[in-house]
Structure 1
Amino acid sequence: MFPLHFDVGGRTVEVRVTTLLNAGYAGRSQEDVAAHVAELAELGVPAPTRTPCIYPVAPYLALQTDVVPVQHGRTSGEAEWALVITEDDVLLTVACDHTDRELEVHGVAWSKQAGPDVLGRKAWRLADVEDHLDELTLTAWAGEAKIQDGTLAELLTPRYWLDELEARGLAEPGTVLISGTIPMASGVDQFAETWQVDLTDPRSRDTITCRYQVAPMPEPLA
């Protein structure tokens, strides 16, 4: 597996991902989550047996890349943050979970496995931003259209997930957890040629960005 490299305050930190987890239905208001589950069910997406969820996916799907190859035109990203456990610290960065929407109606876990989690190349120490996490913003663009815009106050906190990982024996160096996402704007075409997600700290005015192009693969010869 290729290691990830993060710029943390001018210092390069290398992480070899051993466990990759995608949180799902991870809104801080579980009443809103229940309403969202009902909406998805109307679209044919199977409802989870509990919320929030954790979907383990292959560690090699954690990428820092500028291009995401796709098999068809119905795939899209999601604005998220990522928790990265290193040998001696816990980092926070931006992430975009690229998901196969055709496969999602057959199984959310399957759809997560069909695309990568694209992470930023820069990260903050969690300890440096934890006292004002709810002020941090997540913003996503599908092509040139802003499709998501919110704050980390809408999602379960990194500390919540660290406690979950501790309880499950997964709070180990090399574990990466992707947060789950915030609501998408209605009427925006999510099936775009590019995706960009920004994680911004309004206090420091620092932004971590991941941006990539969606590249259709050749038709199969079968």
Structure 2
Amino acid sequence: MTTRLYIARHGQSEWNLHNKMQGVQDIDLTPTGLKQAELLASRLKNEKIDCIYSSDLKRAYVTAQIIAKELGLEVQKIPEFREMSFGIWEGLTSEEINELYKEIYTLWKTNPVKANIEKGETLEEVQKRMVKNTLKIVEENKGKNILIVSHGTSIKALILGLLGIDLSFYPRFRLDNTSLNIVDVKEDGKTVLVLFNDTCHLRRDEKII
């Protein structure tokens, strides 16, 4: 009996648009982000999703609500599915972070497991909470199709953890807004990556691409 995880990143947010580090700041979706969520919802309506779980931050939760409305389901908030806390970097652009914290930012871009951001989380801490709560949900919903709506860093850490891939590979993976990822969890606990960073649903609207 296979449990299928549909894992989606939220739609474009105001700070995505301005290239600001968001972390745990609660930022709204842009009109484009709302449209992206609608297109993802339309794509998922034939996937027989049984339950939806989401980060409690607005950009993810509103994305999940739009999907849930299309599917006739409720969204269960999981605070542990929040984005990584980036501490003192939050609210700054990548250019500002590079200027103010060049050494640690370079480490984050090249070897993020070793990066300790002041007042933030480590990548390992993010992975532990994401994997722990995902496996708990899988245990409670064996054989079902589960949708998780979360954030870029958290999702990448989760997928690497589920597949047993070392976190040092984190910089080599990219996740776009409302990208869809699918991981199958077999009855024996083994995992298979079925889909990664797929955004074909956005091609239905040329203005989104």
TM-score normalised according to structure 1 size: 0.26
Higher share in helix: 2
Which fold has the larger relative contact order, with Cα–Cα distance below 8 Å and residues 6 or more apart in sequence?
A: 2
Higher share in strand: 1
TM-score normalised according to structure 2 size: 0.27
